[in-house]
Amino acid sequence: MVQCRSMVSRPGPASSTALVECVPNFSEGQRPEVMDAIQSAAESVHGAMVLDRHADAVHNRMVLTIAGSPGPVAEAAFRATARAATLIDLTSHRGVHPRIGATDVVPFVPLGTTDMQLCVELAVRVGRRIATELELPVYLYGEAARTPARRRLPDLRRGEFERLQADLPTNPHLVPDFGPARIGPAGATAVGARPPLIAYNVTLATSDLSIARKISRGIRESSGGLPAVQARAFRTADPNVVQVSMNLLDTRRTSMALVFERIREAAAQHGVDVLESELVGMAPAEALVEVVRQTLRFGQLDANAILETRLLENVLGR
């Protein structure tokens, strides 16, 4: 290199921390005062930041994005869950989205270069605490699941709150991982760990929706495509283009770069160009770094190569 490559380096500050995200879903998307109270409970913890709040009145559901150091994020998730349990009554809740509890699902997600195992441990700790202190049934799911049957949320939520209300006391398959085998107005909560989810769209320079449909079928896991990819075809506001709209459930298994390349190749076979990519919401550093690693052939590259990530870990670690 051109300057200073021979210089002696000294490591940065010793104190740095893991980074995690928690994206709890609450069964309330209509009453602003209830949503505000739950968000306030999460925001009351120093070291945990509420970066985003999405609410949907038809789903009657709210999603918070909390991020920071593991301890504060776990505390924020617990406080929000405790608040929701006092404010939401599942016996009168209606919405089109499947749900089993006032706090329906609490996923912990590793950020930066944090290990999944740390998020599994957080899920177990917070799940046990929800069971003990709030006396709610808790199911561990995702990477924290203790049986394959509880790994996937759709399996866990089959029949929803109403089925648990009817069958939990008598059906041995429904016995929770933590907490009582009985159900109250706050329902049950699924607590787990999963990789970051990325909402990623690719726009095609054609008005022919059937081409986007074919490409979506070709890449989504459920049709035998790429692992950890959900995909659907959509029209957009612009009648001259169509979109392949995706959830990437684990970019370590299938990266944005691979998905883009597959769509580009498939579109080319129909004589169609890829116009552009689009992220819906934010993406974790690791998913973007993985694109750089693959496209520029880095031998090694992770989120710690990003100055801002290192700064964040140091700031939170103090």
Q: Which of residues 25-44 bind its own copies (CB under 8 A)?
A: 29, 43
Alpha-carbon dihedral sign for residues 207, 208, 211, 214: positive
Q: Which of 228, 230, 250, 253 binds its own copies (CB under 8 A)?
A: 230
Question: Structure tokens of 58?
Answer: 């038809």
* Alpha-carbon separation of residue 239 from 159, 182, 217, 232 (angstroms): 39, 52, 22, 17
> Could you give phi then psi for residue 221, rounded to 5 degrees?
-60, -40
Q: Mapped to the 3 state alphabet, what secondary structure does 181-233 carry?
A: CCCCCCECEEEEECCCCEEEEEEECCCCHHHHHHHHHHHCHHHCCCCCEEEEE
Position 63 contacts its own copies (CB under 8 A): yes
For residue 152, which amino acid is it?
Answer: R
Among 9, 92, 147, 222, binds its own copies (CB under 8 A): 9
Site for its own copies in 102-131 (CB under 8 A): 111-112
Q: Considering the complex, what minimum distance in angstroms separates the CB of residue 137 from its own copies?
A: 25
- Residue 148 found at the interface with its own copies (CB under 8 A): no
Q: Does 254 bind its own copies (CB under 8 A)?
A: no
* 142 forms part of the interface with its own copies (CB under 8 A): no
Please give the residues from 73 up to 102 whose contact with its own copies meets the rule CB under 8 A: none
> Pairing between strand 61-68 and 25-26?
antiparallel
Of 88 and 231, the one with the shorter C-beta distance to its own copies is 231
- From 115-123, 136-144, 184-192, 292-300, span contacting its own copies (CB under 8 A): 292-300
Token pair for 2: 């051109």
Token pair listed for 264: 């580009």
275 counts as binding its own copies under rule CB under 8 A: yes
Q: For residues 72 and 5, what is the distance between their CA atoms, to the nearest angstrom?
A: 39
Q: Which stretch binds its own copies (CB under 8 A): 143-151, 162-170, 181-189, 277-285?
A: 277-285
* Apex 97 CA angle, 93 and 98, nearest 5: 85
CB of 183 to its own copies, least distance (A): 26
Cβ at position 91, least distance to its own copies in Å: 25
Smallest separation, CB 157 to its own copies (Å) = 13
Q: Which residues in 192-221 contact its own copies (CB under 8 A)?
A: 196, 199, 201
User: Could you say whether residue 235 binds its own copies (CB under 8 A)?
Assistant: no
Angle at 217 between CA 213 and CA 221, to 5 degrees: 145
- Rule CB under 8 A: say whether 282 interacts with its own copies: yes
- Position 283 contacts its own copies (CB under 8 A): yes
51 binds its own copies (CB under 8 A): yes
> Among residues 51, 45, 50, which one has the least CA distance to residue 82?
45
Choice among 59, 97, 173, 270 that is catalytic: 97
Chosen residue from 30, 37, 56, 270 binding its own copies by CB under 8 A: 56
Active site residue 173: no
Q: How far is the CB of 102 from its own copies (least distance, A)?
A: 18
* Unique residue bearing structure tokens 């008005």: 207
Q: Is 139 helix (H, G, I), strand (E, B) or coil?
A: strand
* Residues with active-site annotation: 97
